Amino acid sequence: MCGIVGYVGPRDSQAVLLSGLARLEYRGYDSAGIAVIDGAGELGMRKRAGKLQVLRDDLAASPLADGTTGIGHTRWATHGGPTDANAHPHLADDDKLAVIHNGIIENFAELKDELAADGFTFRSETDTEVAAVLLGREYAASGDLITAFRAVVKRLEGAFTLLAMHRDQPGLVVGARRNSPLVIGLGEGENFLGSDVAAFVEHTRNALAIGQDEIVAITPAGVEVTDFDGAPVETSPFEVVWDASAAEKGGWSSFMAKEVSEEPEAVANTLRGRLHEGAVTIPELDGLDDLFAGINRIIVIACGTAAYAGMVGKYALEQWTRVPVDVELAHEFRYRDPVIGPDTLVVSISQSGETMDTLMAVKFARERGAKTLSICNTQGATIPRESDAIVYTHAGPEVAVASTKAFVAQITALYLLALHVGRVRGALSDAASVEAVRELEAVPAKIVRVLEKEQAHIEQFARWMGDTQSVLFLGRHVGYPIALEGALKLKEISYIHAEGFAAGELKHGPIALVEPGQAVFVIVPSPRHSAELHKKVVSNIQEIRARGARVIAVAEEGDAAVLPFADEVLRIPLAGALFEPLLAVVPLHIFAMGLATAKGLDVDQPRNLAKSVTVE
């Protein structure tokens, strides 16, 4: 989950590294560090526990010499606590060699014992330093960094991206990846490495994806990619479709505030080019009609917020394709020996495309013969490359750790997929397709209305609730996963107890949690097309209100039935039943952000979390 950046070229490497790390800090902010080889051929290193600004302040007070070769790292702690000693880079070979790492080296203990028996000592608790010391020993034997690096990575087990450089070979950075992300940025007389394209998009939009168990060597003159045995491999270049300004706050108080404001745009961009005269056409899925026609089961796999998007998508997929759909947590999927085969379509959802649990589940599905399709927001990511098909969301870079705009984009992509597959299978009438497309096209403007009409109101009562210690969320049908999403956002960034429940479960246990003053959000279905469910949810509201709960209802405009029983009503525009979640979730995102802000918390970088979970 750590952030990694590497650079060779004519620029001041420190500036390149620090700007790249600033865009990667969402991946981890327990510590940060850089190493550079300066003009005199000396290797300098600085690393500090804490957020990147701690390192910046240290460098400002005591600068390193300028250099044109460097590596940088921002850490999410796994092996060893967030201390200066455990921060990366790690040095070896008499401090002439620097190494940074993302992932977990599972056989580090036996390697450490081997090195200790040879007389090597260690200055940290990390698995990374073991790799660094091992590389230093191999370099001493071969005198060539690439040769030594190749020997080392073949001995490592687990998930890793490693970058290394050596004082005696300036102008060279080598990297390797196994089950962990690494992309290359291609420049003019300079080249870059990064955990994702945000690391270098300020300098180049030309990128190169490398595959599993591959090694890359970058110099100012070029890039060489080989497998772990040294054989050249074909690479997949692509152009980054957003620029560096998309990953900047642009005057907003936080990245999360900016990204909530971009939810309409995230939906609109995901729809763009895929709707034609009342029908859905997804160019990425051209030629796959036989695949969709041959499936009789769909399994959606994801984690966290993406799993809740999958739960919403299940309703549309079943309604429009008439194929049974299961939604499973990716980290549970492969461990229960699921029954899957060639007639199963496994749909994975991951904003980063690098979520380790989801990646391993996709690989497992393919090994069992299932067809795989990825919904992803990140070009060049691993999960799309491991899948048979891909539907990209176009939410743009999402920097805040708690996902907002990516969530609505994922639901949008699932709806597009459902409409596409429904048409291919003949399960969806032309009239139903036209109506669904009309509803989708209207969603961005309706989200804008929610933001314009409700945001100030929500932020105000979030401030009033700044000392709240527990919030419950209730929903039915597509409102249930939205209740789960609302609770997750509140847990992630405000650190208070929050739970989401299916409203029908209320009397089966959760109502015991309701006491006077308990805040409860209720996602109210429309009385126009869900009259029976609407009555049941209003009854739920009456039940919890009778026990002293403070009720905040998210209801469509014109729904007067909730007014006598709700303390606050947050209005969303009229929409079809399946499209309400894209609107109802927006007030919950605003509330979580508002409450965390009222508590004085960092909404972009909540404690203990990182954006991209690249370890199991």
In angstroms, rounded to a whole number, what is the distance separating the alpha carbons of residues 503 and 41? 66
In angstroms, rounded to a whole number, what is the distance separating the alpha carbons of residues 338 and 329? 12
In angstroms, rounded to a whole number, what is the distance separating the alpha carbons of residues 86 and 72? 14
Dihedral sign of CA atoms 132, 133, 134, 139 in order: positive
In angstroms, rounded to a whole number, what is the distance separating the alpha carbons of residues 579 and 56? 45
What does the block give as tokens for 431?
């009239």
- CA dist list (Å): 34 to 133, 406, 521: 18, 31, 45
In angstroms, rounded to a whole number, what is the distance separating the alpha carbons of residues 318 and 346? 14
Residue 183's DSSP bridge partners are 194, 209
Residue 162's DSSP bridge partners are 101, 176
**Around 533, how many Cα atoms within 13 Å sit in the side-chain half-sphere?**
20
In angstroms, rounded to a whole number, what is the distance separating the alpha carbons of residues 473 and 342? 39
What does 85-127 look like in DSSP terms, one character per residue?
Answer: TTSSPEEETTTTEEEEEEEEETTHHHHHHHHHHTT---SSS-H
122-151 per-residue burial string, b: 16 or more CB within 10 A, e: under 16: bebebbbbbbbbbbbbbbeeeeebbebbbb
In angstroms, rounded to a whole number, what is the distance separating the alpha carbons of residues 106 and 294? 40
| Per-residue DSSP letter, 616 | -
- Please check whether residue 488 is in contact with residue 308, taking contact to mean a CB–CB distance below 8 angstroms: yes
- Please check whether residue 320 is in contact with residue 418, taking contact to mean a CB–CB distance below 8 angstroms: yes
| Active site (annotated) includes residue 376 | no
In angstroms, rounded to a whole number, what is the distance separating the alpha carbons of residues 405 and 426? 32
Order of strands, sheet of 325-329, starting from the edge strand that comes earlier in the sequence: 325-329, 297-302, 344-350, 371-376, 389-392
Question: Nearest to residue 201, comparing CAs of 162, 266, 259, 246?
Answer: 246
- Mutual angle of helices 305-321 and 479-494, in 10-degree steps: 170
**Catalytic one among 2, 303, 314, 491?**
2
**Helices vs strands, H then E, count in the chain:** 17, 26
Neighbours of 228 (CB within 10 A): 17
- Mutual angle of helices 405-424 and 430-464, in 10-degree steps: 170
What does the block give as tokens for 234?
């074909």
- Please check whether residue 463 is in contact with residue 580, taking contact to mean a CB–CB distance below 8 angstroms: no
| Active site (annotated) includes residue 303 | no
Q: Which residues are catalytic?
A: 2, 611
